[in-house]
Amino acid sequence: MIKEQKPTVFVVDDDAAVRDSLRLLLKSVGLPVEVFESGQDFLDADRDDRPGCLVLDIRMPGMSGLELQVKLNERHSILPIIFITGHGDVPMAVEAMQAGAVDFIQKPFRDQDLLDRINQALDKDAGSRRMLAERNMIRKRLESLTPREREVLDLVVAGKANKVIAGDLNLSQRTVEIHRARVMEKMEAHSLAHLVRMVLEVERPEA
Amino acid sequence: MSSKHTQAVRGAAARRPRSQTGPEYRAILEAAVDAIIVVDHQGTIEDFSPRAQQLFGYTAEEVIGRNVSMLMPEPHQSAHDGYMRRYMETGEKRVIGKGREVWARRKDGSLFPCDLSIGEVSGAQPPRFVGFLHDITARKESEEQLRRSEAELRLAQELANLGNYVIHAERGEHDYYSPQLHRILGVDPGDPSIIREEYLERWVHATDRKRVAEAFVRMDSGKAPLDIEYQVVLRDGSVRHLHHLAQAVLDDDGGVVKYIGTIHDITDRRRAEDDARVLQERLTHFSRLSTMGEMAAGLAHEINQPLSAIATYARACQRLMVQPESDPGDVLAALEQINAQALRAGEVIRRLRNFVKNREVRREPVDCARLLEDLSTLAETDARLHNIRLRLDCEEPLPTVYADPIQLQQVVLNLVRNAIDAMSEAPEDRREVVLSTRMDADGEVEVTVADRGTGLAPEATDHLFNPFFTTKASGTGLGLAISRSIVRAHGGRLWHTPNDDCGVRFHFTLPVSPAVTTGE
């Protein structure tokens, strides 16, 4: 169960002034913020599974922004990343986007542009986390099914009628109906369509 | 004298009138240092002194009774009878009673120069003549040698464009100016000597006048010779560079007797040096400009950093100020930072402008540690662009070096940028450039730029310092060549060694300032 936490904006920038000004800006709009001087500091702080988003300078001495992104991907972090880039960093920004960054913004930037991007990133993160939570919940419900119920579920999702399922599983039609009702109950499905959507949600390969 | 000679003279004497064979006459004839030849009115030799025999290589017997013209080279040999006839007829004396330099011919045909004087035997009828010959070969030779060495000196002075002089302190004595000196100073050989005040006033360039006058005064003390370069303006208005060396010769009381000196016209050399220097400086400047051009992206970033911070701080302040519950300390701190960041941006621009400014090369005592710190602002832009750390490791305190600070920064920046390029592909933990200074074993300041990059390809090391050699896609290939020439011009060395595990270290040394100051 994921503990409910307030989303935080994490800032990683080697430039003290840029870092501090971002901290103050985010504070001024009431967003919780944590700042880090380097990619390594951020990794060491283990914040990558927290809700929020990451504002990351693309160019830093030592571990670059792109390298931190690779490391976070390796840790299966879903934290959305907004890259701060300079002039002429378009090729790097493209690379960052291909590696899953949500956005990038060029320095110097209008504060509202950054805040908008941050809000979008936070929405995306919340959505992702909701979806993740839902999937976990569906998985848990699926795990609560007996092997027979699971067999019935798979055939229901495959679109087979109770009579066909009874034949396939060598059961009476009545028994199938009872299993099916139990499945609907355990899966907390409102309808057959709802049940099918939940199963497809967890069984399609992760994006 | 041998008896053979004596007999020969006696034999000849037998044919002479008695009055001229007296003992005095013989004594003169035999003892005279000059050769003596007596001839009759037709030029027939009557007497031939021992010295004459020695000089011409003839015995008396071989010449007595023969025409004296046998002792002369052409054209006189053929013309001599005519000379004598003319004298007999006209009495006009050409040689008689005067001296004359003539060529005489030995028995072996060789010629020698001699002074000839002829006297007529008074009262003799028919007339007879006595010739005295003095061999002047040695004198002629030394004259010729002198003439030749003078000509050679003159030619040498012309070639070197160097003149010499001897000027006496006492006016009126014989001052000497070599012809080339006349040419250098643009005066005529007939012009009077130039006195010092006049020289300073009318020749020496106004900007050098004080310095030259002081040097002259120092020379007068006799302690130090004059050795000075200065410019003169000639009468035609042209300006020449001279190197003047001179010494005062003093008497026992320390008074100046005379000045001996040389003046070397070094205008052409100086102009060539100036041209080379100007070219070198332009190239150096060009290289700085092109370095900055290559670094433009990094510099834009470096200026963008404070600008971003300022913009963000300002907006944060605006937001904080409309919130009644916000902390005024936050606003104050942000305003403080806005100021600091504006100055920071200005500082980057100032350093950049200093670096690219086309300026006079100016050497001054430079603290290398400070210089590296200053430079790191510019160098870090490039480092950051490549996600590379720049680390300073300065041994302190170090003596100052006497150098042009901008040119030194140029050298270090070149080396740092090369180091950065060498590490663009290196793994993260190796991406660090270390800049260090220390005092080496010879007491010189050594600056080292170490990278942990790919190292140098063996084929690259041979050409590393050649102009236009580059391994980069966009490089002028001038960086290292110019860096080395800058370091050399400062009296230092630039070289490289492999770094401990990987990469390269570039080192250069600089001699410390002549006057080491250890504090204010």
User: Domain with A189 in it: what CATH number?
Assistant: 1.10.10.10
Looking at the fold, whether A56 and A118 belong to one and the same domain comes out as yes
Flag if A24 and B300 touch (Cβ within 8 Å): no
Contacts of A24 in chain B (CB under 8 A): 312-313, 316, 320, 330, 333-334
Share of chain B above pLDDT 90, in %: 16
Q: Which of B308, B326, B337 sits opposite A107 (nearest CB)?
A: B308
Query: Coil, strand or helix: which one is B60?
Result: helix
Flag if A24 and B384 touch (Cβ within 8 Å): no
Flag if A21 and B308 touch (Cβ within 8 Å): yes
What is the side-by-side order of every strand in the sheet holding B35-39? B45-48, B35-39, B129-135, B111-120, B99-105
Flag if A61 and B309 touch (Cβ within 8 Å): no
- Of residues A133 and B476, the one with the higher pLDDT is A133
- The residue among A3, A32, A42, A37 whose CA lies nearest residue A19 is A37
CA distance B417 to B300: 17
Contacts of A21 in chain B (CB under 8 A): 308-310, 312-313, 316, 334, 337
Do the beta carbons of residue B402 and residue B511 sit within 8 Å?
yes
Is A63 a member of any domain? Answer: yes
Looking at the fold, whether A25 and A49 belong to one and the same domain comes out as yes
Q: Give the list of residues 6+ apart from residue A179 with CB closer than 8 angstroms, or none.
A: A148, A149, A152, A171
- What secondary structure, in 3-state letters, does A40-61 show? HHHHHHCCCCCCEEEEEECCCC
Is A194 a member of any domain? Answer: yes
In the beta sheet, which residues pair with residue B227? B245
Interval B353-370: pLDDT, tens: 878 777 777 888 888 888
Q: What is the pLDDT of residue B3?
A: 44
- The residue among B452, B431, B448 whose CA lies nearest residue B369 is B448
* pTM, 2 dp: 0.55
What CATH number does residue A60 fall under?
Answer: 3.40.50.2300
CA distance B21 to B124: 14
In the beta sheet, which residues pair with residue B163? B263
Q: What is the pLDDT of residue B10?
A: 47
Domain stop point among A129, A159, A189: A129
Q: What is the pLDDT of residue A184?
A: 92
The domain in which residue A194 lies consists of: 144-203
Q: What is the pLDDT of residue B4?
A: 46
Q: What is the pLDDT of residue B144?
A: 86
- Of residues B342 and B387, the one with the higher pLDDT is B342
In the beta sheet, which residues pair with residue A82? A55, A103
Looking at the fold, whether A15 and A93 belong to one and the same domain comes out as yes
Interval B148-192: pLDDT, tens: 888 888 888 888 888 988 888 877 667 888 888 888 988 888 777
- pLDDT (mean) for B9-30: 62
Is A1 a member of any domain? Answer: no
Looking at the fold, whether A38 and A62 belong to one and the same domain comes out as yes
Instruction: Determine how many CB atoms are found less than 10 A away from the CB of residue B345.
Output: 17
Mean pLDDT of chain B: 83
- The residue among B337, B301, B307 whose CA lies nearest residue A24 is B337
Flag if B312 and A27 touch (Cβ within 8 Å): no
Burial class (CB in 10 A: 0-12, 13-18, 19+), B518: exposed
Interval B26-71: pLDDT, tens: 888 888 888 899 998 888 898 898 888 888 999 888 888 888 888 8
Looking at the fold, whether A108 and A169 belong to one and the same domain comes out as no
pLDDT of B226 > 70? The answer is yes
Number of domains, chain A: 2
Looking at the fold, whether A63 and A99 belong to one and the same domain comes out as yes
Looking at the fold, whether A83 and A169 belong to one and the same domain comes out as no
Is A134 a member of any domain? Answer: no
Looking at the fold, whether A40 and A94 belong to one and the same domain comes out as yes
Query: Per-residue DSSP letters for B210-250?
Result: HHHHHHHHHHHTTSS-EEEEEEEE-TTS-EEEEEEEEEEEE
Q: What is the pLDDT of residue B490?
A: 86
Looking at the fold, whether A115 and A169 belong to one and the same domain comes out as no
What is the pLDDT confidence band of residue A1, given thresholds at 50, 70 and 90?
very low
Looking at the fold, whether A148 and A171 belong to one and the same domain comes out as yes
Shortest Cα distance from B492 to chain A (angstroms)?
32
Query: Per-residue DSSP letters for B67-120?
Result: BGGGGS-TTHHHHHHHHHHHHHHH---SSBTSEEEEEEE-TTS-EEEEEEEEEE
Looking at the fold, whether A69 and A108 belong to one and the same domain comes out as yes
Q: Give the list of residues 6+ apart from residue A126 with CB closer than 8 angstroms, or none.
A: A7, A51
Flag if B389 and A62 touch (Cβ within 8 Å): yes
* DSSP code of residue B512: B
CA distance B307 to B301: 10
Instruction: Using the Cα atoms of residue A119, residue A121, residue A125 and residue A130 in order, give the sign of their dihedral.
Output: positive
Residue of chain A whose alpha carbon sits nearest to that of B326: A28
CA distance B264 to B270: 12
Domain stop point among A80, A99, A129: A129
Q: What is the pLDDT of residue B125?
A: 77
Looking at the fold, whether A124 and A151 belong to one and the same domain comes out as no
Q: What is the pLDDT of residue B2?
A: 44
Do the beta carbons of residue B316 and residue A27 sit within 8 Å?
yes
- The residue among A63, A49, A199 whose CA lies nearest residue A135 is A199
Q: Which of A20, A59, A109 sits opposite B384 (nearest CB)?
A: A59
Interval A106-155: pLDDT, tens: 888 889 999 999 999 999 999 989 988 888 899 999 999 999 999 999 99
CA distance B404 to B82: 87
Flag if A86 and B383 touch (Cβ within 8 Å): no
Is A12 a member of any domain? Answer: yes
Q: Torsion over CA of B266, B267, B272 and B278, rounded to 10 degrees?
A: 120
Is A54 a member of any domain? Answer: yes
Out of A117-126, B378-387, B497-506, the most confident range is A117-126
Is A2 a member of any domain? Answer: no
Interval B285-314: pLDDT, tens: 877 887 777 777 777 878 888 999 999 999
Q: What is the pLDDT of residue B474?
A: 59
B340 touches chain A (CB under 8 A): yes
Interval A41-92: pLDDT, tens: 999 999 888 899 999 998 888 888 999 999 999 998 989 999 998 766 778 8
Q: Which of B304, B313, B383 sits opposite A107 (nearest CB)?
A: B304
CA distance B234 to B184: 9
Q: What is the pLDDT of residue B231?
A: 92
Do the beta carbons of residue A120 and residue A187 sit within 8 Å?
no
Is A184 a member of any domain? Answer: yes
- The residue among A45, A48, A91 whose CA lies nearest residue A69 is A48
